[in-house]
Structure 1
Amino acid sequence: MRRPRFLTFLSAVAIVVMALAAMLPDAAASRDVGGYSDLAATLLPPVVNIATVKVVQMPKQAPAVQAGLTDTRRVRSLGSGVIIDPSGIIVTNRHVIEGAVRISVTLQDNTQYRARVLSRGGLTDLAVLKVEADFPLPTATFGNSDQVRIGDSVLAIGNPLGLGGSVSSGIVSALNRDIRSSMFDDFIQTDAAINPGNSGGPLFNNRGEVIGINTAIYTQGDASGSIGLGFAMPSNDVKWVVDRLLQFGEVRAGSIGVRMQQVTPELADALELRAARGGLVAGLDKDGPASKARIAEGDVILAYNGVAVQDIRQLARNIGMTEAGTTVPVLIWRNGRSISVSVTAGQLPGGPMEEAMQAAVGDGKPVAFELGLRLATVNDQARDTYKLAPDQAGVVVLDVAPAGAAADAGLNPGDVITRIAQTPVTVPAEVERLVDDARAQRRRYALFLVQGPDGARWVPVPLADQP
């Protein structure tokens, strides 16, 4: 009986397949070349997990508060960061470490370090941390976020929900998103999974470059996880802010003293503009840079420093990135025609902390030292700023580093140090000297007598990390 032809054909195919299989590597040992495994392996080491301890106010109805025992409690929170310098400099979001009394950083090999805050941006959601390692740490490289395009492949790496070292992939969904977090919003939107705990972690392109710092997610209803709407601060903005924080300890954004609103099609028609673009001047600071350049309310800024204005957030960023004292050309639209003026940028006023510190120290400079305190001598301005008694003397606390020993001990801005042990202090240098003396005597604590809102109290400040 003759064999069916299709079986003969199948047998021939089987022989060919067997021959090809013999020529190929073991399938079980082969690797998936279509994934991100090789890239992820190189990107994981510079990404860190951040754990913080924060002190929060308890609700008045809490049993401990009702019993008069305490009105605060410590809570733990999680975030992410990325190492940008082998010496241990780490970038994260400000909201990750805001209010923290202790910050711990865990590397990919599970090595843990205590971290201190080098600086945090008052205008943007960024902070710079520092850990002390005995060897150079792996670092990530920033890419050029201006070259990012919608549809580009991206990887997000971070510490979602405390799981640590998690990699998710996606694409750039949109650019120039305004999530109303600051006047400078220019976020990259991605559908890569970003969840609570990813904040402060990097968003990489497919070349392994950091193109953004993951900062926020949008959710619906009671949901708290990713629905494919994540937002990262562009790397070019991050680099600029971090450079300023490391150089000056603050952002020091430029300002020309204007308040603007976006030109809409209706406004463009009323202003006889051909297109709805530019920033309409809605208000001016008296004697500010724009006023001195004779810019007036109702003018439209069409170009700033040679860059055409597409929207007012872009204009705000360009102004903010101008060094104070720099004179730039500004093209404005007034009464149906273009006019060129020159404006010398000033500096955007600081936040409440910077203002309070400046008021407290007057023309002098605050003194900072390793316990995490910024100090100044009590003077009339300090008494006024912090509502101190007219006869109050001592050394006023201007700022407390969240991860410093002083914060652990419970010192706060506005507290006045009047004695170290039994020795009165009136200038910051005396505080430093007496703390150094205590350390030289191998004491574990320096004893501060502190005058605060609730009266005087003795505060033992640790001179070394305590177990």
Structure 2
Amino acid sequence: MLCLLSAGTDCIISEEKSNVVSPVIDKPVIDKIELKQKEMRDTIVLVKTRRGSGSGTIIDRIDIDIENIFEYRILTNAHVVHSRFFRYLRGVNSLTGKIKTEVVDTGCEIITFDHKNQKWNSYVVDIVSEDVALDLAILSFVSNKELNVAKIANDDMLKQIRVFDEVFAIGCQLGQAPSPTTGIVSRILTGTHNKQKWIVYGSTTQIVPGSSGGGLFKEYDDHYYLIGIPYLAAITNSGQFVSHLSSAISVVTAKNFIDENSVCND
């Protein structure tokens, strides 16, 4: 029996101690670093062309009619894969003196990463679609491996994004394995293109050449979701690269492009 004397009165308040012990529910221990590796870093791929490299994000896995074979879709920037085109000199017209050239599609390949098991795998990819105006492209490849797929933020999540939100940018900087950088949303720009609304997130995450096409992620309810595609870092009038003033195309814009190309992102 616990007795308490109430303040300002002569009343004695008594409280019976309960003998009932509340059950203790053990919550699963989440390794945040391992979760970040799985939901962000391991969804990023290195995109390679004859003339350069960039990044991409695995956004979908499709079961096909072959046992243990999957088709994967990658979201990246159009300017990353556009460098696959190479112009060859074929010769000179002896009559007109004009130079003859031929543009050849030399293709793209990607490298996937499994940091936990320290395994990298290379694949040749197909270009499903590209939109130079939006600077977006979708790639496709098949694999017998179950690779990690990025979670794409839904409309409600995207509406919550505000300046000062913490974000993570991950890309294959300078052609290396995916490197994460952190920062905050510093601005949100909006506009229209062909009557379609577009949104660009400015952030203080650092991106350098090779980061384009990677992923900009934000945490929601202890998981990490793709909210944008980094594509640009600021450059001063003198040509100096300002890596911490970066821009990313919002998934709001990318979702329409994804849906138009029949990619399931459940």
TM-score by length of 1: 0.38
Corresponding position of 1:135: 145
Gaps of 5+ in 1: 1-34, 54-75, 248-467
Tell me by how many angstroms 1:122 deviates. Answer: 4.5
In structure 1, the residue matched to 2:12 is: none
State the SS of the aligned residue for 1:246.
coil
- In structure 1, which of residues 27, 46, 49 is the aligned counterpart of residue 46 of structure 2? 49
For 1:153, the equivalent position in structure 2 comes to 166
The 3 A distance-change label for structure 1 pair 45 and 235 is same
Query: Is the Cα contact below 8 Å between 2:46 and 2:177 reproduced in 1?
Result: yes
CA contact (8 A) 1:155 1:204 kept: yes
Q: For the Cα contact (< 8 Å) 1:177–1:189, is it kept in 2?
A: no
Work out whether 1:116 is the aligned partner of 2:134: no
Tell which deviates more after alignment, 192-201 or 122-131: 122-131
Do 1:177 and 1:186's aligned partners in 2 also have CA atoms closer than 8 Å?
Answer: yes
1:106 to 111, 124, 131: 111
TM-score normalised to structure 2 length: 0.65
Shift of 1:40: 2.6
Match of 2:240 among 208, 216, 223: 223
1:82 aligns with 2:92: no
Partner Cα distance (1:164, 1:127) in 2: 21
Structure 2: where are the runs of 5+ without partners?
1-30, 62-70, 85-105, 114-118
- Structure number having the greater strand percentage: 2
Q: Which residue of 2 aligns with 1:334?
A: none
Pairs aligned (count): 189
- Write the deviation string for residues 9-36 of structure 1: whole angstroms up to 9, x where unpaired: xxxxxxxxxxxxxxxxxxxxxxxxxx96
- SS in structure 1 of the partner of residue 37 of structure 2: helix
Q: Write out per-residue CA displacement over residues 38-66 of structure 1, whole angstroms, 9 at most, x where no aligned residue.
A: 4432221111111111xxxxxxxxxxxxx
Provide the secondary structure at the position in 2 that maps to 1:193: coil
**How far apart in 1 are the matches of 2:132 and 2:164?**
32
Counterpart of 2:208 (choices 161, 173, 195) is: 195
Give the secondary structure class of the aligned counterpart of 1:204: strand
Find the structure with the greater CA-based Rg.
Answer: 1
Higher relative contact order (CA 8 A, sep 6+): 2
Question: Which digits, 9 at most, give the CA deviation of each residue in 1:328-368, with x for residues without a partner?
Answer: xxxxxxxxxxxxxxxxxxxxxxxxxxxxxxxxxxxxxxxxx
> Quick one: structure 1 residues 81 and 222, their matched pair in 2 at CA, closer, same or farther if it must change by over 3 Å?
same
- Post-superposition offset of 1:188: 0.5
- Between the aligned partners of 1:36 and 1:201, the Cα distance in structure 2 is 21
Q: Secondary structure of the residue that 1:107 maps to in structure 2?
A: strand
Cα-to-partner distance string for 1:371-422 (whole Å, 9 max, x where unaligned): xxxxxxxxxxxxxxxxxxxxxxxxxxxxxxxxxxxxxxxxxxxxxxxxxxxx
- Counterpart of 2:187 in structure 1 is 174
Check conservation: 1:85, 1:137, Cα contact below 8 A. Answer: no
Distance 2:34 2:146 in 1: 23
Measure, in 1, the Cα distance between the counterparts of 2:170 and 2:146: 21
How much has 1:206 moved relative to structure 2?
A: 2.1
Q: Percent identity between the aligned chains?
A: 28
Structure with more of its chain in helix, by fraction: 1
RMSD of aligned Cα (Å): 2.4
Change beyond 3 A, Cα 1:183–1:236: closer
1:234 aligns with 2:239: no
The letter of the residue matching 2:58 is: I
One-letter amino acid of the structure 2 residue matched with residue 133 of structure 1: S
